[in-house]
């Protein structure tokens, strides 16, 4: 499951270095699998946003993806490599807007 986390420069009283340290501390503590990171203007400051998975969820998803990739590779033509198939199964599933 994807989670959302945001840090604003207001949280660090406008100090960009303190904001960077807050983000780094969170990354070090949580060990998230970051899918998307964006940095945007926020009033007179900055907001840094993350879409991520938790570490324990990563293991489950990777194990499932590995099992699916093994099944696909054994059922397809030899030109499809295990690495390519595993990458396809690890990509987040999304629905296109049209």
- Taking only the tens place, the pLDDT of each residue in 8-27 is 999 999 888 999 999 999 99
14 & 26 share domain = yes
The answer to whether the Cα torsion of 50, 51, 55, 59 is positive or negative is negative
48 & 12 share domain = yes
11 & 33 share domain = yes
43 & 68 share domain = no
18 & 60 share domain = no
Q: Is residue 30 part of a domain?
A: yes
12-21's contacts with Cβ under 8 Å and 24+ in sequence apart are 14/44, 14/45, 16/46, 19/46, 19/48
Give percent above pLDDT 90 in the chain: 35
Q: Is residue 9 part of a domain?
A: yes
Q: Is residue 21 part of a domain?
A: yes
The structure's pTM equals: 0.58
Number of domains in the chain: 2
- Choose between 70 and 22: higher pLDDT: 22
Q: Is residue 95 part of a domain?
A: no
pLDDT of amino acid 98: 47
Q: Length of the chain in residues, anyone?
A: 98
Q: Is residue 98 part of a domain?
A: no
Say if residue 2's pLDDT is above 70.
yes
| Domain assignment of residue 82, given as a range | 56-90
């Amino acid at each position: 499951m994807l989670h959302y986390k945001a840090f604003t420069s207001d949280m660090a009283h406008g100090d960009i270095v303190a904001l960077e340290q807050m983000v780094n501390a969170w990354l070090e503590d949580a060990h998230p699998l970051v899918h998307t990171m964006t940095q945007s203007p926020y009033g007179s400051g900055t907001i840094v946003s993350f879409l991520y998975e938790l570490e324990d969820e990563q293991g489950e998803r990777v194990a499932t993806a590995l099992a699916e990739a093994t099944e696909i590779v054994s059922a397809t033509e030899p030109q499809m490599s295990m690495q390519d198939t595993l990458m396809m199964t690890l990509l987040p599933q999304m629905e296109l807007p049209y």
